[in-house]
Structures are given as structure tokens and as C-alpha cells.
Amino acid sequence: MSEPTTALVLVSHSAALAAGAAEVAAQMAPDVAIRPAGGTDDGRIGTSYDLVEQAVTASLEDEAGAVVMVTDLGSAALTAESVLEMLDDERVLLADAPFVEGAVAAAVAAQGGAGGRAVLAAAEEAASSFGPVDREDDGPPSPGSVGPEQGEVLTRTLILRNRLGLHARPAAMLARKVGEFDAQVSLNGIDAASILAIMGLGLTGGAELALEASGPEAARALDAIEADVEAGFGEE
């Protein structure tokens, strides 16, 4: 797995909100640089051009690029856009994504070594991937559903052992584990590299995990996932 090279900057009217979202995302991606830029210079509600610029500039000094996440309040977005316009650096990307869910998804992608565009895509796909998965009419995933022309598809069925199931922490562990291998992995019909899709399954202790994997390291990926599942993701 590659080392993280993309930082996150979280812009909000509230310093507490930006710091809290950064804290949550950091739990999922401990090696990613995540910089909150919330509130005004003197700690009031609002946004500060200088704070955002400092966070973005620091990210570019330390990392290969940065993805900027913004709450949906208008002036926060305008401040971030102004900073990006002045910097005029193609390594800085502005995400149109839900703030917390997007930050978590982006952080997990960055933790796996994804570049700026891939991290941006992970953030922007968060809105559609987070939520319950209704497969009532779809039936079980068909063999080979991981992706077309991926070669042999390996399958494995496991039982979720930790009582609380695939909540945020183990979902992040699973998504990061998938990212360590040259393989495409699905879990109960969804992309197992997506933390939000995993959480959206709502799986609790005792649930069945139907895994499919293809690619050069498919068997190794399944072995590693099975080891984590059997260990209860460290929560037993």
C-alpha cells in the first residue's frame, strides 16, 4: 500500500465542527494530514480567508496535493473558492460533497495512497454510497459481479463476530485492508473498498459476509479479510 500523499482541508463556519469532522476522519485514516480550518481568526462563527489559506499552503508543503471539503453554507464555500483561485494550483481540488461523510470517505481513500482526483471522487460519491442497501429485488450477487473481465472470481463466506458489527471503525479497517491488495473485492454485493457503502449495509454481529474477489492478489485479500473478521476487528 502506498503512503498517503493527499491532504484534506475541512472548512466550516464553526471551528468546533471542522475540528470534530477532522477528528472523526482521522480515526479512519491515521496517516493522512487532515487540517481543520473553521471559524474566524478570533474564534467566532464565520470563515477566515487566512486560516483556509494557511491550511491549504501547509498541505501543499507537506503533501503532493490537497482536497478541500466545505460545509454547505454559502460564505464558507466562497472563502474556499477565493483561496483556490488566488493560489491557482492544480494540486488543490474543491469537493462538492457532504461534509462529514465526504471527509470520512476521502480520508480512507487517501489512507490507501489514492491521488487527489481519486480522493475527490471518493468524497463526491459519499452522498450516493451512504445509506441502507436495498437488494430485495436484485437477488444474490452473481458470480463475477466484482467487475467485468477480471478473470477468476474467488468467493468466501464468513460470519461477522464482533457484536456491534461493521460500524465506522471496523468498516474503515476493512476498506483499508482491501486497498492494500491488487484485487477487486465485493461484500454482499457492494464495493468493499468503500467505507460508507460498508456501513450502509447495516451489518451486525452474526451477519453473513458474502465476499467475492478477483485480480492478481484476490486470494491474499480474502485471507487478510478473513483474519480480521475472525479476530473481530480487535473488538472481541
| Among the four given CATH numbers 3.30.1330.90, 3.40.50.510, 3.40.640.10, 3.40.50.1820, the one describing domain 6-129 | 3.40.50.510
Q: Are 176 and 194 in contact (CB under 8 A)?
A: no
For 28, the enclosing helix (H) or strand (E) is helix 15-28
- Per residue in 121-148, is it b (16+ CB within 10 Å) or e — as a string? bbbbbbeebbeeeeeeeeeebeeeebee
Does pLDDT of 155 surpass 60? yes
Higher pLDDT, 19 or 128: 19
Give the model's pLDDT for residue 193.
Answer: 86
Mean model confidence pLDDT for the chain:
86
Among 37-51, 53-67, 136-150, 167-181, the least confident range: 136-150
CATH class entry, domain 154-234: alpha beta
**Can you give the pLDDT at residue 9?**
97
> Average pLDDT, stretch 183-190?
94
Q: Who contacts 77 (Cβ-Cβ below 8 Å, separation ≥6)? A: 70, 71
Domains 6-129 and 154-234 share a fold: no
Our answer to whether residue 13 is catalytic in this structure is: yes
Query: Using one digit for the tens of pLDDT, what is the confidence trace for 104-113?
Result: 989 988 988 8
User: Is the model's pLDDT at 130 over the cut of 60?
Assistant: no
- The predicted structure's pLDDT at residue 55: 96
Burial 15-39 (b: 16+ CB within 10 A, else e): bebbbbbbebbbebbeebbbbbbbb
C-alpha to C-alpha distance for 112 and 100, rounded to whole angstroms: 19
- Banded pLDDT at 132 (limits 50, 70, 90): very low
The confidence band for 139, taking pLDDT boundaries of 50, 70 and 90, is very low
Query: Of these residues, 9, 10, 11, 13, which one is catalytic?
Result: 13
Q: What's the confidence (pLDDT) of residue 140?
A: 42
Which pLDDT does position 92 carry in this prediction?
96
pTM of the predicted structure, to 2 decimals: 0.70
Each domain of the chain, given as residue ranges in start order, spans 6-129, 154-234
Residue 220: CB partners within 8 Å, gap ≥ 6?
Answer: 181, 183
